[in-house]
Amino acid sequence: MVVGNKLQVLDALDVAKTQWYHFTAIITAGMGFFTDAYDLFCISLVTKLLGRIYYHVDGAKSPGSLPPNVSAAVNGVAFCGTLAGQLFFGWLGDKLGRKKVYGMTLMLMVICSIASGLSFSSNPKAVMATLCFFRFWLGFGIGGDYPLSATIMSEYANKKTRGAFIAAVFAMQGFRILRGGIFAIIISAAFMALFHVPPYEVDPVGSTVPEADYVWRIVLMVGALPAALTYYWRLKMPETTRYTALVAKNAKQDASNMSKVLQMEIEAEPQKIEQEKIRYGLFSKEFAKRHGLHLLGTTTTWFLLDIAFYSQNLFQKDIFSAIDWIPSAKTMNALEEVYKIARAQTLIALCSTVPGYWFTVAFIDIMERFAIQLMGFFFMTVFMFALAIPYDHWIHKDNRIGFVVMYSLTFFFANFGPNATTFVVPAEIFPARLRSTCHGISAAAGKLGAMVGAFGFLYLAQNKDKAKADAGYPAGIGVKNSLIVLGVINALGFLFTFLVPESKGKSLEEMSGENENNGEGEAGASSSSSSNH
């Protein structure tokens, strides 16, 4: 590493005290994640309502439910779009610049959030088809937000508090999951006050009032608001100095941008910018040698984490039903069911999800990223097995609260653990010209895991007795065995964490080897990864 070769502006950013521009960056980037989490998770609040409205069967003992293929599509199509968006916008962020692409993703999210709630027709097939179409493109926009938000925040932050700033952007997800549940509670409670309707077992048709169709549409559409409010601020953000200087090679523009941001005089250094000679690409032997194992580590850990995390999030309503924390569907009307599902999910978010995120923000620059991720996977594994092995004990009515507490702790340690660190680390350890691309690849691996969780666990968690499985589903392996599978997945995440380097307290250039004055020297990233574990 040639310290004297480092650009003045990068040194200034690395040692800058926490300033107002750091907080505006967190809020601007975080509002995207505020929207992302809401749009991805709010569907689980209304899937049962969609089944009641569009798939009611006259004379059936229980309310209508989405057929397996429709439920899988509605729950999983946004993840397909997110995966594609992460790869595409991650690559585009390195080609065109972070700022140019950032506004595109937000606009796509706003338009498709609104369009999802306006899904046409009253014909079930037409409604579900248009809902899936717009949720795919909504996911595509959300996907772009992952690599761009993480990369922008990492490239703006100082090295002392960089982990906390990137984690704070991601932690906005927790508030959005919480707000989604609270909003669904308010809307369903308001409609329940307006329309006094009997439970399904008393009046199957009357238990779902026609106005219930507005509830799910309002819940989906309101996700557009926070994104729309931050669009102006995204357009005003200057391009990051790491992109302008190290990728675009525009010393004059970079000095001008950062002089305004840092409120100090920054001198343009075109000679130093031209000296930087590392030119290897993503598919080169040089990249494989320097960062191949790092990329394998970030992709596998995010993949394994998201299988567990998203299957828990999407299907917690089914787990609550299994332990009778949410009453049987036939004893409620449609609006009451939305209310009780939202109330249960909000309680989990309030007690475990949100605190977990902010514990990471508080401790990530004190503890190592590596330690937090290992700890999270370890406790997720422990609590999964503690729920699964004595599962017959937990399903007794007297033990329900204990089940919910332990289930909540798995969420807490997911968020004070790998759900945050898998987002933070890929934004810190790769070279500037490939940073957004590599983060997009890592995040896409995560969404592949989310799809396994969303599609696979719909079927896997079904009762072993086909007669007791949900309508239209084959027999599964049951909730108990599904929890054991998730425990094994978390244990694998623990092992793959050992491939990920520690980045606490190091500059981005130190991690990627971009301080070197030639492309063949020993990589700073390689040396840094071997010094930790």
Q: Which residue has the higher pLDDT, 314 or 475?
A: 475
For residue 57, the 8-state DSSP code is: -
Nearest to 186 by CA among 211, 227, 219: 219
pLDDT tier at 416, thresholds 50, 70, 90: very high
- Sorted by where each begins, the domain ranges of the chain are 14-264+286-512
What are the tokens at 501?
């380097």
Q: Residues 514, 10: contact at Cβ < 8 Å?
A: no
The dihedral region occupied by 305, where left means phi > 0, alpha psi between -120 and 50, and beta the remainder, is alpha
pLDDT tier at 137, thresholds 50, 70, 90: very high
pLDDT tens-place string over residues 356-391: 889 999 999 999 999 999 999 999 999 989 988 888
Nearest-angstrom CA–CA distance, 68 and 470: 9
State the CB neighbour count (10 A cutoff) for residue 194: 10
pLDDT tier at 523, thresholds 50, 70, 90: very low
Nearest to 294 by CA among 527, 38, 11: 527
The reported pTM is 0.86
Residues of 146-168 as b/e, b for ≥16 C-beta within 10 angstroms? bbbbbbbbbbbbbbebbbbbbbb
Q: How many residues does the chain have?
A: 533
Q: Residues 386, 360: contact at Cβ < 8 Å?
A: no
pLDDT tens-place string over residues 69-86: 888 888 788 889 999 999
Q: Per-residue pLDDT for 202 more than 60? A: yes
pLDDT tier at 274, thresholds 50, 70, 90: low
| pLDDT for res 516 | 58
Helix (H, G, I), strand (E, B) or coil at 532: coil
DSSP string, 364-384: TTTS-HHHHHHHHHHHHHHHH
Q: What share of the chain is helix, strand, coil (3-state, %, to 5)?
A: 75, 0, 25
Place of tokens 């993480």: 150
What are the tokens at 376?
């999270």
Superfamily of chain region 14-264+286-512: MFS general substrate transporter like domains (1.20.1250.20)
Task: Work out the mean pLDDT of the chain and round it to a whole number.
Answer: 84
pLDDT tier at 471, thresholds 50, 70, 90: low
Nearest to 78 by CA among 56, 53, 109, 124: 109
Alpha-carbon distances of 348 from 68, 312, 320, 335, 345, rounded to whole Å = 26, 11, 11, 20, 5
Q: Which of 87-101, 139-153, 333-347 has the lowest mean pLDDT?
A: 333-347
Q: Per-residue pLDDT for 207 more than 50? A: yes
Half-sphere exposure (Cβ direction) of 175: Cα atoms closer than 13 Å:
14
pLDDT tens-place string over residues 302-314: 999 999 887 775 4
The sign of the CA dihedral 57, 60, 64, 68 is negative
What are the tokens at 72?
């899988």
Q: Which of 152-161, 171-180, 231-240, 508-517 has the lowest mean pLDDT?
A: 508-517
pLDDT tens-place string over residues 23-70: 888 888 877 777 777 777 788 788 889 999 999 888 888 888 888 888
